[in-house]
Amino acid sequence: MPLSMAKVGEPLEIKKVGGKAETRQFLEKLGFVVGGIVTVISEINGNIIVNIKDSRVAIGKDMANKIVV
């Protein structure tokens, strides 16, 4: 399922990062790599705040839809 559908507080493993090459590269620099663990902290107006690699990152719903967990 896409990260945008994940429940708050549930640690999930990243299975796939989709999108164009530049989008995938941007997400990988933020820590969204296959096998990584991501936890949704909160969702506000479709934007998602996640905890990944001991950092909090905010991404938009369109980006979250490209990350499969």
Residue pair 29/13 in contact by the 8 Å Cβ criterion: no
What values do phi and psi take at 67, rounded to 5? Answer: -105, 120
Report, in angstroms and rounded to the nearest whole number, the Rg of the chain calculated over CA atoms. 10
Number of domains observed in the structure of the chain: 1
Can you state the percent helix, strand and coil of the chain, rounding each to 5? 25, 40, 35
Looking at the chain, the number of H-run helices and the number of E-run strands are 2, 6
What's 30's domain CATH number? 2.30.30.90
User: 27: which DSSP letter?
Assistant: H
Structural domain containing residue 64: 3-68
pLDDT 10s digits, 8-48 = 999 999 999 999 999 999 999 999 999 999 999 999 988 99
According to the model, what pLDDT value does residue 46 have?
A: 83
Overall average pLDDT of the 45-67 stretch: 93
